[in-house]
Homo-oligomer: A and B are copies of this chain.
């Protein structure tokens, strides 16, 4: 079973869920799809950027641990024959959640409670996808929340691989964060997205391309709501959620992973 640790944010979980369905190769029937347990408990999971900034919000690692605890109880209720220990694979559709301060604590909580769920790391999967498309010593553009930026979660991976990571000027970062978080017109607040947020994110993507990015990572799960995966001024954008969805299908049932060239995946 695939577990979506959702609620970070709620719509990001829905996008990941859709991508899992689209990445699954089936015989065309409902019944040939993979089982998905999608738990969205945003009220108990504090904002990841605010947590990293030391604000007084519920610990995201503890909230997500409770989600996985709930998932484990659900699976146990349905018998060990369907779900042998270690058979479930979980993904968390939030880049900032993968900041080491949060993700490591989450993994240690799972270990301590002996929760038999394998976790896929969205950042690892995205870095591998970038490495398959951009040569080492290349330049990678990154758009993200302030939390992801400050935590350096992508930077550490890429610098060790010899890449240059390009971001928007630091003084512009609050404006990008606002496009995601503004309570009236931000990507988290409004569906479908507001033109202001879309224009601002597109503008920053273009800036990174003009500054030399060979690929642009849409490093917050809400950003692809504004800039779809594809090309910006001829340069590919990459949605970490696609990498996560494909990794979840691959780990759950490798024979069902739809090749990328079949489309939709």
Contacts and interface: CB of A to CB of B under 8 A. Distances in A.
Interface of A: 6-11, 13-14, 17-18, 21-22, 26-33, 35-43, 45-47, 66, 69-78, 182-184, 186, 188-192, 264
Q: Would you list the 6 A-B pairs with minimal beta carbon distance, nearest first?
A: A28-B183, A73-B77, A28-B189, A74-B74, A9-B30, A38-B38
A21 B191 CA distance: 9
A63 to B, nearest CB: 10
Contact of A30 (B7, B14, B75, B184): B7
Given A74-B70, A191-B264, A192-B264, A8 B28 contact: no
A169 B236 CA distance: 48
A25 to B, nearest CB: 11
B7 A33 contact: yes
A68 to B, nearest CB: 11
A43 B35 contact: yes
Specify how many copies of this chain sit in the oligomer.
2
Given A7-B33, A28-B183, A47-B29, A39 B74 contact: yes
Contacts of A31: 42-43, 45-47
Residue among A17, A183, A189 facing the most chain B CB atoms (10 A cut-off): A17
18 contacts: A7-B33, A7-B35, A11-B21, A14-B14, A14-B21, A18-B191, A22-B191, A26-B189, A28-B188, A31-B42, A32-B43, A33-B43, A36-B40, A38-B39, A66-B78, A69-B77, A73-B77, A74-B77
Contact of A38 (B11, B17, B47, B73): B17
Contacts of A30: 7-10, 42, 45, 47, 188
A27 B183 contact: yes
Contacts of A28: 182-184, 186, 188-189
Given A30-B45, A31-B46, A35-B40, 17 more contacts: A10-B21, A14-B14, A18-B191, A22-B191, A28-B186, A29-B183, A29-B188, A30-B47, A32-B42, A33-B43, A35-B42, A35-B43, A38-B40, A70-B74, A70-B77, A71-B74, A191-B264
Nearest to A1: B41
Nearest to A192: B264
Contact of A18 (B7, B14, B21): B14
Contacts of A70: 37, 74-75, 77-78
Contacts of A40: 17, 33, 35-38
